[in-house]
Structure formats: structure tokens, C-alpha cells
Amino acid sequence: MKKNYLAYPYILWLFAFILIPLFLVLFYSVSSKDSSMLTLDNYKRFFDPIYIQVFVRSVNLSLIATLICLVIGYPVAWIIANMEPAKRNFWVLLFVVPMWMNFLLRTYAWMTILENTGIINTLLEKFGFQSLNLIYNSQAVVLGMVYNFLPFMVFPIYSILVKIDKNLLEAAQDLGADKKSVFMKVIFPLSLPGVLSGAIMTFMPAVSTFAISRLLGGGKVTLIGNVIEQQFLLVNDWYFGSALSIIMMGFILIFVYILRKVEKDDEERSIF
């Protein structure tokens, strides 16, 4: 019983910084500055075509960034997982070190690389090529998402791949399976939980980001995170901003539920 007291600080933290703020956001989302009555008008405003368009853009760019992170991150995780332990730890450290740097500083660094007078365009002009429009567009925003959130895809996949029993791979090869069959029928199914976890950890911050789209999008690529930020800081409409926050949270929970359901169904098929 005495050990239960160790959980009290966490419970206090949970109430003070998670549950109470979440309740306040939910309360604001059904409130109005013009009336003391609870209302759903803030949620109805979300269905304005302008906000729907911003929401769809946010989801599309986030899904693209998540897919790119998967395409890049899976081979990287596989290569690192098959290295010797000493080399493996070194390469894992290389992925961790940039995350020690401030998120905004990492994004600002890409601005100096992509802007019209940045490193890439300066080199192109030096060699006689025409400068390119590399910043303040959707592609730059996706690039920023991939750069900042790629480790969130690599580490979950790596943590699964490094634990795969090598005897399973040798057994599959002894039974006549080629490298492609071993990967498709043994390695990838076993690593699917890491893929789904990586997809969740990458998609969630990508779909709700506002700093990347504000810096690399230059105000030309507005995402739902930017709209929420504007409602709180510029428009001073906490009611609609809270409603958008609740909608985004609900959407992310649905996305997580679907991926977890896919993972569970895949595990059941692998058993039978």
C-alpha cells in the first residue's frame, strides 16, 4: 500500500496539466462570448469550406510527409539494425544529436538553405544555373516535416528490427526462401508494429504543426495548426480555437484507433 504513494505526484501532475486544461478547452469549445448558454456553433463553423480546405490540406501534407518518412526511415532502420553494436550505437547517436537542438533552430536552418539567397541557390547561380523557388511552398513544408519527424519513424522501426530473432531468417532461407520472400513474409510482418507506431508518432505532430508551415511556408501554406494559433493569439477567439483543437484531437484519436485496429487484425491473422 505504501508504494501507491509514489503515484500521487504523477496523479497530481495529470490533473493539473492534462485533465484540467483539457476540460477548460472543452468548456471553451461549447461556450460563446455573446451568451452564457452552451452551444455547438463553434463546431458548426468548422464546416465552412475555407476551414475544410485547410483541414484537408493539413491531412494531405501530413500523410505525404509520413509516407516519405516511411520510405526513407525503413531502409535506414534496417541498415542500422544489421550493423555491429558499436557502429549501431554511433549511428543511433547521429539521429539523436539533432533532436537535442531546438525545434525552431532546426527549421530556421532550412530557411538559410532554401531561401532565394540561400546556400543552394547561391551555388546554382555560381555555376551559371537559374535559381529555384525552393521555399514558401508546400514542398518546403513537407521537407521540414520530414526532416524534423524522421527520427520518430526510424526509432520505432529500428527497435523492432533489432529484436528480430536471426534464427527465423536462417530458417526461412533453409526452407528455400530468397531474400525478397524473407523480407516480405518474415521481416516486414514482424516489423509492422514498429511501422504503425512510427506512422502514428510522425503523423500526429505533422498534422498539428504550425511553426514549420509558418516559417517554411511563409504564410502561403496555411495548415490547421496555423488557424488554431491565430484564433488564440491574433483573433482572440478562444472559443473557436478550442473547438478546432477538440476536433483535431478527435481526428488524431480516430487515426490512432484505425492503425491500432489494423495492427491487431494483422496479429490475429499471423496467429491463425
pLDDT digits (tens, 9 = 90+) for 80-98: 999 988 888 888 888 888 8
Residue 54 pLDDT > 50, yes or no? yes
Backbone angles phi, psi at 151, to 5 degrees: -60, -30
Domain ranges of the chain: 49-271
Q: pLDDT value at position 239?
A: 96
What pLDDT digit, counting tens, does each position of 159-218 carry?
A: 999 999 888 888 888 888 888 899 998 899 899 999 999 999 999 999 999 999 999 998
CATH number of 49-271: 1.10.3720.10
Which pTM was predicted? 0.90
Choose between 34 and 241: higher pLDDT: 241
- pLDDT, tens digit (0-9, with 9 covering 90-100), for 205-215: 999 999 999 99
